[in-house]
Structure 1
Amino acid sequence: MKSLSVFFKDMAATVSNRKLLISMVAVLCIPVMYAGLFLTAFWDPYGKMDQLPVAVVNTDTGAEYGDQSLHVGEELIDELKKSDDFAWKFVSREEAEKGMEEDKYYMTIVIPEDFSSKAATVLDEHPQPSEIIFEPNEGYNFLASQIGGTAVKEIRTKVSEKVTEAYSKTLFDQIKTVSDGLGEAGSGASDISDGAVKLDEGAAKLKENLSKMVAGTVKLQEGIQPLSNGAGDLQKGALSLKEGSTTLASGLGQLSSAHKQLEDGVVSAHQGSVQLKDGLTASEAGSAKLKAGLKSAVDGSSKLQAGLASTMDGSGKLQDGLKQSEAGSAKLAESMKAAEAGGAQVASGAQGVAQGLQQLAQSSPELAQNPAVQKLIAASQAVAKGSEQLHQGQQQLSEGASQLHKSQQQLSGGASSLHDGLQQLSGGATQLSQGATQLTTGVDQLHQGQQQLVQGATQLEAGQSKLEDGMKLFGTKLADAANGSKQLSSGAAQIADGSGKLKGGMSQLGSGVTVLADGSKQLDTGAGQLTEGLGKLKDGSGELASKLNEAAKKTGEVKAGDENFQMFAEPVHIQENKFSDVPNYGTGFAPYFLSLGLFVGALISTIVIPMRDTSVMGASGFNRFISRTFSFVLMSVLQSLLSALVILYGLKLDVQSVPLFYLFTFITSLSFMFMIQAIVTWLDQPGRFVVIVLLIFQLTTSAGTFPLELIPDWMKSLNPLLPMTYSVKGFKAVISTGDFTLMWQQAAVLGAVGIVFLALTLVYFSMKSHKGILDQQQAPSVSA
């Protein structure tokens, strides 16, 4: 009772606060505004289609079909005028275009000029279907254009029925004509039977004469066969001769071309051998000079080696002297630094004496006027100035001594580097001397080889001259052979052509005889078949006459009334048996918009009702939990009751069970309320953002509008995780299908969701209450 007392006190405080009370009353209307206004707007849009302006333009010029005049466009206009599917506006093409530009019409239906003429081509070799031009104004309203597309399909069906009905009338007229023709064909079949008897007698004589012709053509065919074989052998030999002579001429031509290139190469090789000989001679002379120069280089390298040894001794002595000089310059630098320090002291003392005498003279005017004192002061100032100059000179000497010592150090380092370089140079000179000796030996061998090459080049030049003369003679003989092969090839070609013509003539003759023999045999066979066929013709013509007369009788009995025409035009009717009736859009969308309204109402309630605080000071966490929970339960009851009343009695929604509709509405509202209460209690303001995100996902994945199968695959996985999925299914069951088992299953899921989130809210208040108790227990110890 104490927990309920906190709730009643909070409610009393709320009622006493006029602003808060007005806000709560406004929040109660949120679900009604969402669900009621949306459902009112979309309750039955197809029931007001007669207010949707649609332009209709008829430019059909009509056509002739058999004995009938087709004006399908005018018939379609008459049908549209009888219907109230849309607010039809029958205008010209110009008015329709202007109205579409000014957003006066949602769509335009154009019946083209050739509409009837194309409908009359049904029995042509290439029939052309009629077309209705549908021009939706999608920029004005997309849904209206989609609805118009469905209406145009229905119009097409109606037009097809009218055209098919006209086709049926013409077809039945033709059937009557066929019946008359069949009667005439029956009498003609009797005449055919009489003629077949006479044809049978003539066919017997024809077969007798054709048998004699077959025997003669067989003998002719046997005599022509050996002649044809001989002509074939002659042609094969001529073709082989032609191919061989052609190949020989081609090869000799290629050989002649290659010989010309070879001859040019021999001439070039001869010139190259001459140049090679001259080059080798010059190379031999150069190698002799190289040999003499290398001998001089060997002598020079020996002298260089001896000079480098003397230089190394001198660099060693220079290095020792520089080291001694470096030590002396170091001592000199130290002495100059000491002298500089002494000079500084002397200059400072002289300056002090001069200043003291000056001060003494200033303190005693008598002393200042004494000439001896004046001289003494002047002398002391001169001494001070000279000592200062002496100190400056000593500083310069000290700096010069330091620079001299640094230069001595650099010279000492350079002397060391010089001595090392001379050692390396001496080693290189030794290697140079050895290499020059080896090079001299190699040059001797090179000179001997060049002498041998000069002799070989002389012999090569003589051989090249002989080869050049021989190639010229061979080229002349080869040209004569190539001309002869060309003449041989030309003669072989003429023989091949003549033998080919001979063989062709023999083949044609043999083929003609063969064809003649085959034809005579086929004629003989055909004559026999003709005799048999004429017998069958005689029998069949009698049967044909009787059947044609019977067909004429039956076609004359065919019925051709309006009901038959209607059957041809519309042979199939659709019988619609609704599994569950949803009379209008409002009933179909009610589960979706009602779930949306209750969810938004629960979210807005968290803005008006305090989530954590209470008007009772010192209330425990559990008491605050009870107070807040009962407050939200009360809001949920009022919101669901008000929404159900408005939808049932304001919008006249028909449901399968009114009590279960009230109950499921309350369960849905309570589940949404507990879920949103827990999220906002834990997260405060960010929690409301989380709830809005959940609302967005539920709007797209709950399958309240489009089927679940039509949304993206990654959204389908969210469908079973969000509570609005179950509220939409439950409302569909209690409103339309009457599947109360399914409704109770969805109610159980929503109840479980509400209990889980209610438990989370209790955990929050328990944790806050425990934290407050710990703070109170720790407060005295801290103050102590």
Structure 2
Amino acid sequence: MKILALIRTELKRLTATPLARLALVALMTVPLLYGGMYLWANQNPYAKLDHIPAAIVNTDAGARDADGNAVNYGDKVTKQLVDGKDFDWHVVSQSQADKGLRDETYNFVFSIPTRFSSDLTSASTTDPTPAKIGLTTNDTTSYLSSTIADQAGKTIRATVTAEVGKTAAKTLLVGLNDVRDNLKTAASGAGDLASGAATLKSGLGSAQVGAKSLASGTAQLSSGAATLDDGLQTLKSSTAALPQATSQLASGLDTLKAQTASLPSDAATLASGAQQVAAGNKALDTAVSGGVSTADQAVSALPAQLAAAQKAQQQAFDAVSAQAGLTADQKAAVQQVLDAASTSTATTLTTTAKTTQAQLTALQQQTERLQDGSAQVSAGASRLSASAPALVNGIAQLDAGADQLNSKTPALTNGIASAAAGSASLASGARSAAAGASSLSSGLSKLDAGASSLASGATKLSTGLDDGVKQIPATTATSRDRQAAAIADPVSVKDSSIASAGNYGAGLAPFFISLAAWIGMYALFLIIKPISKRAVTAVKAPGRITLAGWLTPAVLGLVQMLALFAIVRFALGFDVVNPVPMIGLMVLASVTFAAIIMTLNVWLGSVGQFLGLVLMLIQLVTAGGTFPWQTLPGPLAALHFALPMSYAVDAIRQLMYGGNIAGAWSDAGVLALWLLGALLLSLVAVRRMTRNRTMRDLRPSLIG
């Protein structure tokens, strides 16, 4: 029987009944579900840390920095954490945080104490105290809660340290810059001092010459003092009558002050009366203007009123004539009389009205002139009333001055007498000044020597200060900010990678792909017969029987690995640098694991199946899929190099991340050796079966 026929026979057996087909499909999907779902669940958990609830309790009361500015680092840290959205932060009270941590509302809590800012700023005081941030965790939410919270705490500490360090460094740099400016000012002052010392030395020579001139001048001063004494005696006699004159002036001003005391009130009364007269004249002018206007209107309306009266008279006459039965001649005679009387009356009324109108117009012109004159009088009286107090005050001040002059005159005359007496003392003092000028000349000689030393020392001081200024670099606000940032964070780590997984899920993928390949083979051998007993009996070709027993699960493993690669690459979206070699390596790992598990089953039966499970558990630990294998204990680290899954994990990593291709080939070679060794052991076992068979070997069974 050929190998393909043996494979078809085994596959036909596996799909002979609905239950068998269901079992095959279920076991084929085991590695897909295991690898795919686990990698899906852990695809990138660090990208969803913002879903982890955490609490911040900020009770920081703030503080004052070295410049006296109010700072609150607790608020800054809280805002930075909330704005960063690294976690699902909740700013709560201490009681809410404690309750939330107990009932697992929050995974961990950061507590910022009241003295947080005070402790941070205490470094510049005589009692520095390190600041503390409390961290409380609850591992019942997840065993990684403490680890994640610790990492977050380190990040906060680094951020706060950099911020405070930058502030401190900036303060130091500002102070250093101030020192430089002050040194520069001091150097300039020292230069001025040296220049001044030289000028002083030069001036001292002139001062010596001046001292000699001073001695000569004091002699002349003595002579002048005598002349001054004569003049003062003459002035004393001339001012003898001055007190009597000032007394008379004060008396006259007192009289003037008394006579003008009532001037403000009289001027105010005059202004008030003038205002009343002006108001009366204004009212009169208004009344006259109203009368003129009324007269004009009456004269204008008089013709119309006369015409109306004549019309009414004519109508009444016509009615009376009709009632009386007057003849035409009688009516004409009466009409003539009435017309004459009406005309005479109208003429008289018109003449009277016009005469009255002309008289009122003349009266209006006179009242207007009267109003203007009274207004001018009122204005003048008001100005007089306003100026009167100032005039009276001026007279009072002049009187007070005269009184003071009168009171001071005796002192003036006494002073002149004292000056005359002091002129003698002045002459004596001038002689003493001549002697002092001689002593001054001697002292100036000594001062000249001291000025020379001062000039030399000032020059050295100026030079030293200039050197000090040069040793302190000049800075600006921008450069100090950069320097402070460099001091606060002097080292930065530049990330680079020759091969990168990309995220957490991709980092686990090689391990779980290899593990899924082993689990897939282990599950398939629950229903696949490692070696066909019938083929052993019917076909005496151990090599073909062994290959057929291995190729059946190998083909199914190929299907599993292709499907798993599609899930990893397309469904989960993990990047694969070398897709085709990676597929080949996955298939190689699957068929190698198939050969190993088949060998265990062929040699040991059910015990071998159990050992396949044990071997998988051992490789879970030794393959180095999660932590580096170097962290393993010694015996387990030795097994890392002995078992095949380690090489499968390493090779998939190299191919998936774009690492060392040569290393992947080396790992593939080790897997190929495991494959070849397992097949050879299976071949040896099949050869033994061909010599020792029983009827039970011919009985078909679903699980072998």
Structure 1 and Structure 2 fold alike (TM over 0.5): yes
Gaps of 5+ in 1: 196-534, 777-784
Which residue is equivalent to 1:608? 527
For residues 118 and 18 of structure 1, the distance between their equivalents in structure 2, rounded to whole angstroms, comes to 75
Deviation at 1:734, TM superposition (A): 0.7
Instruction: Map 1:327-726 onto structure 2 (within 5 A).
Output: 542-548=459-465, 551=468, 557-561=474-478, 562-614=481-533, 618-620=537-539, 622=542, 624-726=545-647
Deviation at 1:2, TM superposition (A): 3.8
The reply on whether 1:166 has 2:167 as its aligned counterpart is yes
Which residue is equivalent to 2:12? 12
Which residue is equivalent to 1:523? none
Which residue is equivalent to 2:60? 60
Deviation at 1:634, TM superposition (A): 2.0
Task: Decide whether the 8 Å contact of 1:9 with 1:615 is kept in 2.
Answer: no
Task: Decide whether the 8 Å contact of 1:10 with 1:615 is kept in 2.
Answer: no
Task: Decide whether the 8 Å contact of 1:656 with 1:735 is kept in 2.
Answer: yes
Deviation at 1:638, TM superposition (A): 1.8
Q: Secondary structure at the match of 2:692?
A: helix
For residues 195 and 637 of structure 2, the distance between their equivalents in structure 1, rounded to whole angstroms, comes to 79
Of 738, 742, 745, 2:666 maps to 745
Distance 1:553 1:750, change over 3 A: closer
For residues 24 and 695 of structure 2, the distance between their equivalents in structure 1, rounded to whole angstroms, comes to 36
Which residue is equivalent to 1:23? 23
The one-character-per-residue Cα deviations of 1:604-661 (angstroms, maximum 9, x if unpaired) are: 1111112344567942363643442232222222222221222222112211211111
Deviation at 1:671, TM superposition (A): 0.3
Counting aligned pairs with the same residue, the percent is 27
The reply on whether 1:39 has 2:39 as its aligned counterpart is yes
Task: Decide whether the 8 Å contact of 1:60 with 1:116 is kept in 2.
Answer: yes
Q: Secondary structure at the match of 1:771?
A: coil
Task: Decide whether the 8 Å contact of 2:24 with 2:527 is kept in 1.
Answer: yes
Task: Decide whether the 8 Å contact of 1:57 with 1:110 is kept in 2.
Answer: yes
What letter matches 2:610 in structure 1?
Answer: F
Distance 1:106 1:677, change over 3 A: same
For residues 128 and 540 of structure 1, the distance between their equivalents in structure 2, rounded to whole angstroms, comes to 46
Deviation at 1:142, TM superposition (A): 2.2
For residues 703 and 540 of structure 1, the distance between their equivalents in structure 2, rounded to whole angstroms, comes to 77
Distance 1:148 1:645, change over 3 A: same
Between the two proteins, the alignment pairs up a number of residues equal to 437
The one-character-per-residue Cα deviations of 1:461-485 (angstroms, maximum 9, x if unpaired) are: xxxxxxxxxxxxxxxxxxxxxxxxx
For residues 647 and 8 of structure 1, the distance between their equivalents in structure 2, rounded to whole angstroms, comes to 30
Distance 1:555 1:625, change over 3 A: closer
What letter matches 1:44 in structure 2?
Answer: N
The one-character-per-residue Cα deviations of 1:685-707 (angstroms, maximum 9, x if unpaired) are: 11122112211111111111111
Q: Secondary structure at the match of 1:770?
A: coil
The one-character-per-residue Cα deviations of 1:191-214 (angstroms, maximum 9, x if unpaired) are: 89999xxxxxxxxxxxxxxxxxxx
Deviation at 1:709, TM superposition (A): 1.3
Distance 1:164 1:2, change over 3 A: closer
Task: Decide whether the 8 Å contact of 1:620 with 1:769 is kept in 2.
Answer: no
The reply on whether 1:101 has 2:99 as its aligned counterpart is no
For residues 6 and 171 of structure 2, the distance between their equivalents in structure 1, rounded to whole angstroms, comes to 91
Task: Decide whether the 8 Å contact of 2:169 with 2:484 is kept in 1.
Answer: yes
Task: Decide whether the 8 Å contact of 1:678 with 1:757 is kept in 2.
Answer: yes
What letter matches 1:165 in structure 2?
Answer: K
For residues 474 and 682 of structure 2, the distance between their equivalents in structure 1, rounded to whole angstroms, comes to 88
For residues 649 and 53 of structure 1, the distance between their equivalents in structure 2, rounded to whole angstroms, comes to 32
Which residue is equivalent to 1:123? 124
Deviation at 1:123, TM superposition (A): 3.0
Q: What TM-score comes out, normalization by structure 2 length?
A: 0.57
Which residue is equivalent to 1:297? none
For residues 617 and 63 of structure 1, the distance between their equivalents in structure 2, rounded to whole angstroms, comes to 89
Deviation at 1:536, TM superposition (A): 11
Which residue is equivalent to 2:649? 728
The reply on whether 1:143 has 2:62 as its aligned counterpart is no
For residues 84 and 484 of structure 2, the distance between their equivalents in structure 1, rounded to whole angstroms, comes to 23
The reply on whether 1:73 has 2:74 as its aligned counterpart is yes
For residues 617 and 551 of structure 1, the distance between their equivalents in structure 2, rounded to whole angstroms, comes to 100
Deviation at 1:134, TM superposition (A): 2.0
Deviation at 1:147, TM superposition (A): 1.7
Task: Decide whether the 8 Å contact of 1:57 with 1:109 is kept in 2.
Answer: yes
Deviation at 1:14, TM superposition (A): 2.8
Gaps of 5+ in 2: 198-451, 698-704
Task: Decide whether the 8 Å contact of 2:180 with 2:472 is kept in 1.
Answer: yes
Instruction: Map 1:140-219 onto structure 2 (within 5 A).
Output: 140-175=141-176, 177-179=178-180, 181-182=182-183, 185-186=186-187, 187=189
Distance 1:540 1:127, change over 3 A: farther
For residues 175 and 4 of structure 1, the distance between their equivalents in structure 2, rounded to whole angstroms, comes to 89
Distance 1:558 1:608, change over 3 A: same
For residues 617 and 700 of structure 1, the distance between their equivalents in structure 2, rounded to whole angstroms, comes to 38
Which residue is equivalent to 2:209? none
Q: Secondary structure at the match of 2:595?
A: helix
Distance 1:707 1:540, change over 3 A: farther
Which residue is equivalent to 1:89? 90
| Larger CA deviation: 10-19 vs 648-657 | 10-19
Q: Secondary structure at the match of 2:15?
A: helix
What letter matches 1:27 in structure 2?
Answer: L
Task: Decide whether the 8 Å contact of 1:108 with 1:134 is kept in 2.
Answer: yes
- CA RMSD in angstroms, aligned pairs only: 3.2
What letter matches 1:727 in structure 2?
Answer: A
For residues 115 and 625 of structure 1, the distance between their equivalents in structure 2, rounded to whole angstroms, comes to 74
Deviation at 1:152, TM superposition (A): 1.8
Distance 1:548 1:609, change over 3 A: same
What letter matches 2:49 in structure 1?
Answer: M
Q: Secondary structure at the match of 2:607?
A: helix
Task: Decide whether the 8 Å contact of 1:13 with 1:615 is kept in 2.
Answer: no
Deviation at 1:600, TM superposition (A): 0.9
For residues 3 and 708 of structure 1, the distance between their equivalents in structure 2, rounded to whole angstroms, comes to 41
Q: Secondary structure at the match of 2:109?
A: strand
Deviation at 1:175, TM superposition (A): 3.5
The one-character-per-residue Cα deviations of 1:237-271 (angstroms, maximum 9, x if unpaired) are: xxxxxxxxxxxxxxxxxxxxxxxxxxxxxxxxxxx
